[in-house]
Amino acid sequence: MTPTEKYTWGSLISGILVFGWFIMKMTDGFSIVAYEGNALLSIFIGVIIATIIARIITASAAAMFFGYNEQDEDYMQDERDLAIERNADRIGFLAVTSLVAIIIMLLLLQDSSPSYRLGIEDWSLRIEGSAGMFFALMSSLFVGHLVRDSAIILFYRRHALAI
């Protein structure tokens, strides 16, 4: 296993943990908590700090779990590593843009039909106000990141590239 793969495992796990924390913080059941400006800024800064801390912890844990190799110190990414990252970046980007497109569609549907509830009775997870937009866009970024990391691991595990 290359150091890039070990790092990606750490990144994926830390992403899941921070995303989980973010969802717990932002939602109450199926509703988005209507935080105001300063509270949202605090959560945003909290996400950044939590990500840094989680990355450090999971990177150390991944190194311990997968074993430390002396060659890791001199490891340089080669063209296959870069090609895998490039493909995974593209897939992650597609995930983010798809989700943003869905958010735009939801906003348009909500505006055009105020009673729109995704066809579900009492559905309250609507994109409303700053908190709703913040939650939707941050979630898109998290999902894009998780998809990217998952794609990297998948490409390494398959020993192949979907080119």
Minimum CB distance to other proteins, residue 2 (Å):
6
Beta carbon of residue 158, minimum distance to other proteins (angstroms, whole number) = 8
Which of residues 2 and 139 has its CB atom nearest to other proteins in the complex?
2
Least distance in Å: CB of 18 to other proteins?
29
User: Rounded distance, CA 9 to CA 153, Å?
Assistant: 7
Return phi, psi of residue 28, to 5°: -130, 100
Task: Closer to other proteins by CB, 64 or 76: give it.
Answer: 76
Binding site for other proteins (CB under 8 A): 2, 71, 75-76, 78-81, 156, 158-161, 163
For the chain, the 3-state helix, strand and coil shares in percent, each to the nearest 5, are 75, 0, 20
Q: Which is nearer to other proteins, 2 or 150 (CB)?
A: 2
- Inter-residue contact 55 to 10 (CB < 8 Å): yes
